[in-house]
Amino acid sequence: MNLFNLEHKRALVTGGTHGLGMAMAEGLASAGAELIITSTTPSKLEEALDYYKGKGYKASGYIFDVTDEAVAKEKVALISKEIGDIHILVNNAGIIKRESALTMPVEDFRRVIDVDLVGPFIMAQLIGKQMVERKEGKIINICSMMSELGRNTVTAYAAAKGGLKMLTQNLATEWAKHNIQVNGIGPGYFATSQTEPIRVDGHPFNDFIINRTPAARWGNPEDLQGAAVFLASKASDFVNGQVIYVDGGILATIGKPTNED
Ligand code: GCO
């Protein structure tokens, strides 16, 4: 089981203050990693750090927006100085705006691309440099079903997450020779605040997802912990450019008629 041991490793999780990011961060911490959590919201960060420390995990936090290259550079340097270099980067921070492509303001489209695709590039480049020097590192980009499939109203998000899958493959291509493994996790449909608006009982999308998912349920954030620990650990030292879909089987099937068991 040493393959999955993350003791003496420092894991930076962007947006690790709630939902899927917090669940993955907790999984890494339970395997021994020290957590560095970023957020743009001081109150959320403070609450999350209290939670992690209450669980006995070593955790610290930094407030910055991953899309602000100058500030991100400054904060990553500060983290290295105050805490130490980063062994594991989880590019989790992301936003979604659900609106028809015909009416979505371009600035909204651009903001989703900025947070969900450019931000991960900025963080990967900043932390990738120290990983190249150390000749080791793990980068995990949090992709999505929308890295593979489209759906109405999430054009910006799908474009960003599709790009994030290819960013994962291309960084893997460039950095594998430095013993840096760059991979992704593609969550299916999970019960989080981000999906709350489309998950409420009786919402047509809720019924659709239950029918479309062979496991016939929404994912629980803890369902992602195994994939996160795997991709953060020695167990994945020869895995490069892969996206592990934790989706209850959605991508494995064309689905079934609603009246079929
Ligand atoms: C949506 C959902 C999805 C999920 C997830 C799927 O509106 O379709 O929010 O985007 O959150 O990204 O992998």
Residue 168: both structure tokens together: 């994962």
Q: Is 195 in the pocket of ligand 1 (CB under 6 A)?
A: yes
In words, the CATH class of domain 2-248 is alpha beta
Is any atom of ligand 1 closer than 6 Å to the C-beta of 192? no
CA distance linking residue 189 with residue 2, whole number of Å: 31
- pLDDT reported for residue 200: 86
Question: Ligand 1 center to residue 96 CA distance, Å?
Answer: 8
Q: 1-5, 26-30, 116-120, 141-145: lowest mean pLDDT where?
A: 1-5
The pLDDT assigned to 202 comes to 84
Q: Taking the complete model, does pTM exceed 0.95, yes or no?
A: yes
Q: What is the pLDDT of residue 1?
A: 66
Taking only the tens place, the pLDDT of each residue in 148-195 is 999 999 999 999 999 999 999 999 999 999 999 999 999 999 999 889
What phi and psi values does residue 16 have, to the nearest 5 degrees?
A: -85, 40
> Which residues partner with 219 through β-bridges?
190
85 CA → ligand 1 middle, Å: 32
The total number of residues written for the chain in this structure: 261
pLDDT tens digits, 199-257: 988 889 999 999 999 999 999 999 999 999 999 999 999 999 999 999 999 999 999 99
Alpha carbon distance 179, 183 (integer Å) = 13
**Residue with CA nearest ligand 1 atom 2:** 195
Q: Is 52 a catalytic residue?
A: no
Each domain of the chain, given as residue ranges in start order, spans: 2-248
Say what the pLDDT of residue 261 is.
82
Q: Which two tokens stand for residue 247?
A: 């989706």
Question: Hey, which of 96, 99, 148, 200 would you mutate to test ligand 1's pocket, going by the most ligand atoms within 8 Å of its Cβ?
Answer: 96
For the CA atoms of 123, 24, 114, 101, the dihedral, rounded to the nearest 10 degrees, stands at 160
Tell me which H or E stretch contains 17: none
> What is the pLDDT confidence band of residue 20, given thresholds at 50, 70 and 90?
very high
User: How many other C-beta atoms are found inside a 10 Å radius of the C-beta of residue 241?
Assistant: 18
Does 189 sit in the ligand 1 pocket, CB within 6 Å?
yes
Q: How far is the CA of 205 from the centre of ligand 1 (A)?
A: 11
Find all residues with CB under 8 Å of 233, minimum gap 6, and list them.
3, 4, 5, 6, 31, 138
Measured from the Cα of 192, ligand 1's closest atom is: 11
Quick: pLDDT tens for 74-102. 999 999 999 999 999 999 999 999 999 99
- Ligand 1 within 6 A of 191 CB? no
